[in-house]
Amino acid sequence: MKPIIQFENVSMSFGKLEVLKSLNLSIQEGETITIIGGSGSGKSVTLKLLLGVVTPDKGRIYFEGNNIVQMKEKELVAMRKQFGVLFQGAALFDSLNVFENIAYPLYEHFKYSEQELKSIVSKKLALVGLPKSEKLMPSELSGGMKKRVGLARAIATDPKLILYDEPTTGLDPTNTQRINQLILDLKKNMKITSIVVTHDMESAFQVSDRIALLKEGKIVSVGTVEEIKNSKDRVVKDFIEGKMKGSEISAGGL
């Protein structure tokens, strides 16, 4: 397997706050990797760096061998077309119905006939377990349904890579389970590369091929679910034990 993404010595500060300090991480094509870390540890910032919406102070970030840090806006736009993003709040357009919300990135990026759009939207809705809900308005959807519509929108363009920022935060156990299952299904059906950012250890164990722990601006440990579960590393053990007790509350999204 070859890396689809590489972070090399990436540092990022906001004023005096050093969020990332020479972070290194390599992500393989087709894997689901989860970045775990405490609130404010820089998980969302890491996703923003990948999208090229913020620029690091130092370091290089490669997508398929091309350094994102040096890309011009035009190249960034082309790159982002290959990404699907599920933001923390799902962020649907309230004045658009479900069909229009999901079709939005398709209108933006490519040219499809009305018939093609209908077919794509209907397939994506079926994938997220919400068939025939095209006409519903966001105000008619529960939190879990909104998240699933957000996911249908994120995959509308058949992205190569999907970024999930706290996909299960604020969801009840049934919807959490549903979203976790969808992350697994998408990997299976679409052979997608997924980067999940979460503070939810249970979800991380469930959906990941590998888990990376972000602490004090660095990836301090990375390994398979089994390796992380059985890690003897104090930092990893402390983090998992703390999380399993549910001692943390997440902060804002992207």
Ligand X SMILES: Nc1ncnc2c1ncn2[C@@H]1O[C@H](COP(=O)(O)OP(=O)(O)O)[C@@H](O)[C@H]1O
Name the site residues for Mg ion (rule: CB under 5 A).
43-44
* Beta pairing class for 161-165 and 193-198: parallel
Contact 163, 47 (CB under 8 A): yes
Nearer to ligand X, 37 or 150 (CB): 37
**By CB under 6 A, which span of 13-21, 58-66, 110-118, 205-213 interacts with ligand X?**
13-21
Please give the structure tokens belonging to residue 20. Answer: 């990332």
Q: Which partner from the list Mg ion, ligand X, none does 52 bind, CB cut-off 5 to 8 Å by kind?
A: none
Dihedral pair phi/psi, residue 204, rounded to 5°: -60, -45
Which one among 7, 25, 27, 43 touches ligand X, defined by CB under 6 A? 43
DSSP 155: T
Nearer to ligand X, 14 or 110 (CB): 14
Which residue lies nearest Mg ion, judged by its C-beta? 44
Nearer to Mg ion, 180 or 198 (CB): 198
Q: How near is the Cβ of 184 to Mg ion at its closest, in Å? A: 22
Contact 5, 26 (CB under 8 A): yes
Contact 127, 166 (CB under 8 A): no
Helices and strands of the chain, counted as H and E runs: 9, 10
Q: How near is the Cβ of 42 to ligand X at its closest, in Å? A: 4
**By CB under 6 A, which span of 3-11, 24-32, 42-50, 188-196 interacts with ligand X?**
42-50
**By CB under 6 A, which span of 36-44, 115-123, 126-134, 151-159 interacts with ligand X?**
36-44
Is residue 14 involved in binding ligand X (CB under 6 A)?
Answer: yes
Binding mask 44-83 for ligand X (x = CB under 6 A): xx--------------------------------------
C-alpha to C-alpha distance for 206 and 46, rounded to whole angstroms: 22
C-alpha to C-alpha distance for 185 and 103, rounded to whole angstroms: 21
3-state secondary structure of 10: strand
Is residue 41 involved in binding ligand X (CB under 6 A)?
Answer: yes
Which one among 39, 95, 142, 224 touches ligand X, defined by CB under 6 A? 39
Q: How near is the Cβ of 254 to ligand X at its closest, in Å? A: 8
- Give the CA dihedral 218, 28, 166, 248, nearest 10 degrees: -40
Residue ranges in contact with ligand X by CB under 6 A: 14, 17, 19, 37, 39-45, 251-252
